[in-house]
Every structure is written in structure tokens, then in C-alpha cells.
Amino acid sequence: MTTQQAPAQHDVLARMHQNLRDEASAPDAAPVEDRPVTKETQIIAIYGKGGIGKSFTLANLSYMMAQQGKKTLLIGCDPKSDTTSLLFGGKACPTIIETSSKKKLAGEAVAIGDVCFKRDGVFAMELGGPEVGRGCGGRGIIHGFETLEKLGFHEWGFDFVLLDFLGDVVCGGFGLPIARDMCQKVIVVASNDLQSLYVANNVCSAVEYFRKLGGNVGVAGVVINKDDGTGEAEAFANKVGIPILAKIPANDDIRKKSANYEIIGIPGGDWGDLFAELAQNVADAPPVRPHPLTQDELLNLFSADTVGRNVVLEPASFMDMCGREELNKATLEVVYDTV
């Protein structure tokens, strides 16, 4: 490395470190408004583990709701921006964050037609998120909702607004609907596996936490996706005290059609009745206060072969860690006798 290259590299690193400091010390984003909408709109946040099938469930649910005559808006709040892909046959729609950045650079304002698109009566949009290592996904969510408010979100006359949130990320932006009463109720999508139920239980814990702080959001129920009949998700719902809104079977026809970006929630189709019932249950289910499980209670839903409950925890010793016996060193701490 030449003497000229070294200072240049040092300057780049210094600028990068300063940018990180500036981002870390940036003031919190402006609070998102939570004034009531101008119509009796049900705003429902759907949470679940990544890959559990939220986008599949929501695309078909929103499509069925639209066919039932309900004016429905689907908003993807996952940085992957894949919520609307199935709805639009595998096509990605421009995200709010990406579009607003481009418009800002061009000195133009974002219009509804730039970010909201429709198919067969379903309205849909994606908030989007930053690239890896280039920002906070939670702050991206907050920025996205601020943009929606500028576009008149509280004046839109929808019957249902469905929000697709990633459930296994715990930063504040993804908990926005629960923390700030932006929705009336939450739905969790889970399966008969420990990881998805762990996420579902975390979401229930968040709802209960904010209820204790004066919040009003409740859990409307759980959608069991890829149901193989083993019953762990059903047992979870019973323990937590929330209803089962639908059981979507682990079926090869569903898997293939989903992989090919086909909507199956069509009236009169093979799976039409399933999603028609889900749509009605989602509309009618009241928000309830869940009873989250402890870690041990959650593990007890599964067999010992699954979670290894027959293993005994053996404490490690100093010898294990350092390869020698621990020396009792004298201490200068003064210990006073208690009276």
C-alpha cells in the first residue's frame, strides 16, 4: 500500500464511522398519528414467523374479501416486499420507500397512483425497506406510514385494511400497530412447529404488555397454515385463549399453486369455501386479551423427542472452562455484619 492510499482509506473509514454515529444519534421520528379514520374501517395487523405463509394467506384472504364486496386494502410491511407478489401473479410493485426516495431526488411529490395498485377489486401496496446494512427496517416502517398519512390514509374509505408484519423481528417499528393502537386487532399465522409458535407467543406477549399500559389492541385469533394434523398449534390457541380462524392443510395442490403465484381464494374454486369462511371469521372475530405462555409451557406443547426435555442441564465448572482448579483469591471487599 502506498503512502497516498493509506490516508485515503483512513478518510473513508472516518466518514463511515461518522455516518454511523450520526444515524445512531438521530432524533426519533415524528410520532405517527393515531386519530380515528373517517369510516368504520377494520385495520388488522397480521404477524407470523418469516416463511410461515403470511403473504400467501393474506393475498388469498384479501382477494376473497374483495369478491365478497368488501373494499379491501392490503399493505405489505415486510422489508422483503413480497406480500403483494402472489396477488399480482409474481410481479413486484414499486415500494413506498423506493418511490418516495426517487421522487424526492426529482423534486416531485408522491401520488397515490405511484404506490397503490389494484387487481379485481383488491387495492395493494408495499412499504418496502432499506438494503442490508443501510438502515433500520423499523424506521422504514415508520417512514412508510408517515407517507401514507400525507396521502390521506385516514380519509380512505376501506372496509378492511390488512397489514402484513414480520413477527420474528422485535424492534419498535414492527410493533407499531400494537404499541400505538393503529389497528383494532391482531391475527397470527402459525404452524405445528416450535419456531412459529414461539413467534406467535411473542406477539401475544406484546399485545398483553401494551394492554397493561392502557392499549386497546387484542388478538382476533390464529390461522394454522400447513396443518399436518399433529395439533400443537391448536393446543397453543387453546392455552393462550384465542380462537382458530382457519386451518389451511399441508396440501400439495396448495403448495404448487402458491409456488406458481396462483390465487386459490376464488369463490367456487377448490379452496373457495375455506377462504370464504376465513374472511367471515376475520371480519367477525372480536379482539381478546391473550394469556401468553412461559417458555416451559410452550415447550410442553411438544413431545420430548421434539424439544429434548429429557436432557438434564449440567452446570459448567471453572475446570471445564480454564483447565485448572479455581484459586480462592483474597478480596478487599468489606463485609459488614447485619443487625
Residues involved in catalysis: 49, 54, 80, 168
d(CA 75, CA 160): 11
Which CATH homologous superfamily contains domain 29-298? Answer: P-loop containing nucleotide triphosphate hydrolases (3.40.50.300)
Question: If DSSP codes are grouped into helix, strand and coil, which group holds residue 178?
Answer: helix
- Rounded to an integer, the average pLDDT of 55-60 is 94
pLDDT digits (tens, 9 = 90+) for 215-229: 899 999 999 999 999
d(CA 16, CA 1): 21
Closest Cα partner for 146 from 117, 122, 178, 110? Answer: 110
Q: What is the band of 38 on the pLDDT scale with cuts at 50, 70, 90?
A: very low
pLDDT digits (tens, 9 = 90+) for 121-145: 999 998 876 555 555 655 667 777 7
Domain residues of the chain, as ranges?
A: 29-298
Mean pLDDT for the chain?
A: 83
pLDDT digits (tens, 9 = 90+) for 227-274: 999 999 999 999 999 999 999 999 999 999 999 999 999 999 999 999
Q: What is the band of 207 on the pLDDT scale with cuts at 50, 70, 90?
A: very high
| Burial class (CB within 10 angstroms; exposed 0-12, middle 13-18, buried 19+) of 323 | exposed
d(CA 27, CA 199): 30
